[in-house]
Amino acid sequence: MSSPSDPAVGGDAPRGQLWHGRFASGPAAELVEFTESLSYDQRLLFSDIACSKAHVRGLHRAALLSEDELGQILGALDTVEMEYRDGSLGFVASDEDVHTAIERRVTELVGAVGGKLHTGRSRNDQVATAFRHYLLTAIDVTAARVIELAEVLAARADEAGTGPGATYLPGYTHLQQAQPVLLAHHLLAHGWALLRDLDRLADCRRRVDVSPLGAGALAGSSLPLDPAETAAAAGFSATFENSLDATSDRDFVAESLFVLTMIGLHLSRMGEEVVLWTSSEFGFAVLDDAYATGSSMLPQKKNPDIAELARGKSGRLIGDLTGFLATMKSLPLAYNRDLQEDKEPLFDALDTVRLGLGAMAGMYRSIRFDAERMAASADSPYGSATDLAELLVADGLPFRDAHAVVGELVRRSIESTIPLAELVAAEPRLGERGVALLAPGASVRNRATPGSAGPEAVERQRERFEDRLSALRSEWSG
Ligand code: ARG
């Protein structure tokens, strides 16, 4: 990259810049340093080349390039791609972004003909096109990772079971024990959130999948180009309707950032739970050694760093999203250089979420759940309080009265330290039927409504989850 002392910058030979014609002298070093995007937009190179190939084929169809010129430019684009892959593509100080660098290198390779590559195109439509093209693949990669994690959760839910001997744990509200739930139910709760993420990715992807190529700088072109044909050749499903909108729209970036942030938030909630569950106070789960870290000072420590970073990195995702929304706010039509700030947050969010999903999948695949600790914690008799109240309701008592009867038994038990079972046995409206509900695992087996935490309901839910997941799997692989 260029540096302020670079002799190629700030001199009086500005031919390297795409826009040199209008300028008598070259750019200041500070301008080059502050405005460049090549250091981070290089990852668009393959997409830019693919879209440039579609563009030059369009120029050829419009008789703006001869067969021979087309062949030369396509060949040069292939060479640039190869040079980038093998690390031999050098950059020069005037390459302000990857698009400039590619055109500069093509022109070095084929001479003056290279100057025809940019016919009927502006970097404004070019950059939006390459960015969308890149993002389509990145969304597919993200979706594959979300599916992988959802599969891991489904497999672990399967293992946790719904039949006799199924693993159950306390369910919490306010982080206070509320009612016991099957572990399968708990894991699938995270799974459904991931399936919604896949829906959101698919919906957002439809709006990414629109080509702005042909919109030019802001108003299209006088040349006989066909944006729809170029869009199809570049692999897009649709073409822009309005050139001002096409070059300045970054809704697709904001939306993608939101969907990625939402995935990150889901990972943060799962991560927080693993942090709690692997603490000695909870003891509900033990991390596999490969997915835990040690302490540099405390020899006994086994730390849940993946889970903590899943939690922590959600902060930067929120920053990526909100920072970009602030950049977009109040921008006048059409392209403004501010829009160059779309790339770093989205690349960061894509990387963060991709790596987070992979690490969480590995961690969840290998974590060991301690079914006994979970059951011991869930079998507090107070977890059955609602079941006792519902037993009274089944006998015709209004729920408010039933609630009060059981609430009083709980209070007396806590105040007197008499076991709840004894008080229940002595309460004529409950008796042995009530005591039976206090048995280990009885409460969770007592849940029956569709979508509830009980065995039959979770069994049906598991099937529905598998069905939905396999539908999504084929949607994303098709
Ligand atoms: N690097 C720029 C970006 O990412 C390319 C567009 C520059 N367009 C312009 N008119 N200066 O947005």
The mean per-residue pLDDT over the stretch 260-275 comes to 98
Q: How far is the CA of 8 from the centre of ligand 1 (A)?
A: 21
Residue range 149-202, pLDDT digits in tens: 999 999 999 999 999 999 999 999 999 999 999 999 999 999 999 999 999 999
Q: Are residues 367 and 398 in the same domain?
A: no
CATH of the domain at 422: 1.10.40.30
Beta strands in 325-461 (DSSP E): 368-369
CATH of the domain at 162: 1.20.200.10
Residue 456 lies in a domain: no
Beta strands in 220-302 (DSSP E): 238-239, 285-286
Residue 187 lies in a domain: yes
Dist. CA 47–CA 44, nearest whole Å: 5
What pLDDT does residue 12 have? Answer: 44
Lowest mean pLDDT among 6-20, 79-93, 329-343: 6-20
What pLDDT does residue 9 have? Answer: 43
Q: Are residues 355 and 423 in the same domain?
A: no
- The one catalytic residue in 25, 66, 279, 295 is 295
Q: Are residues 176 and 309 in the same domain?
A: yes
The three-point CA angle 340-346-350 to 5° equals 155
Minimal-distance CA residue to ligand 1 atom 2 = 340
Q: Which of 324, 353, 376 corresponds to the end of one domain?
A: 376
Residue 458 lies in a domain: no
Q: Are residues 331 and 186 in the same domain?
A: yes
Number of domains in the chain: 3
Q: Are residues 270 and 173 in the same domain?
A: yes
Q: Are residues 107 and 134 in the same domain?
A: no
Does 3 score more than 70 pLDDT? no
What pLDDT does residue 268 have? Answer: 98
Residue 450 lies in a domain: no
Residue 8 lies in a domain: no
Does 19 score more than 90 pLDDT? no
CA distances 259 to 65, 157, 210, Å, are: 41, 25, 18
Q: How far is the CA of 111 from the centre of ligand 1 (A)?
A: 24
Residue 288 backbone class (left: φ over 0; alpha: ψ -120 to 50; beta: rest): beta
Residue 107 lies in a domain: yes
Q: Are residues 171 and 236 in the same domain?
A: yes
| 174 is annotated as an active-site residue | yes
Place of tokens 């806590």: 414
Q: How far is the CA of 58 from the centre of ligand 1 (A)?
A: 22
Residue range 432-473, pLDDT digits in tens: 999 999 999 999 999 999 999 999 999 999 999 999 999 999
Q: Are residues 202 and 102 in the same domain?
A: no
Residue 477 lies in a domain: no
CATH of the domain at 111: 1.10.275.10
Residue range 22-62, pLDDT digits in tens: 888 889 999 999 999 999 999 999 999 999 999 999 999 99
Q: Are residues 113 and 56 in the same domain?
A: yes
Residue range 415-437, pLDDT digits in tens: 999 999 999 999 999 999 999 99
What pLDDT does residue 301 have? Answer: 85
SS3 293: strand
Could you tell me the pLDDT band of residue 16, with boundaries at 50, 70 and 90?
low
Could you tell me the pLDDT band of residue 300, with boundaries at 50, 70 and 90?
confident
| 185 is annotated as an active-site residue | no
Residue 6 lies in a domain: no
What pLDDT does residue 5 have? Answer: 40
User: Where in the sequence is the domain holding 422, given as residue range(s)?
Assistant: 380-439
Q: Which of 119, 144, 168 corresponds to the end of one domain?
A: 119
Q: Are residues 100 and 129 in the same domain?
A: no
Residue range 307-347, pLDDT digits in tens: 999 999 999 999 999 999 999 999 999 999 999 999 999 99
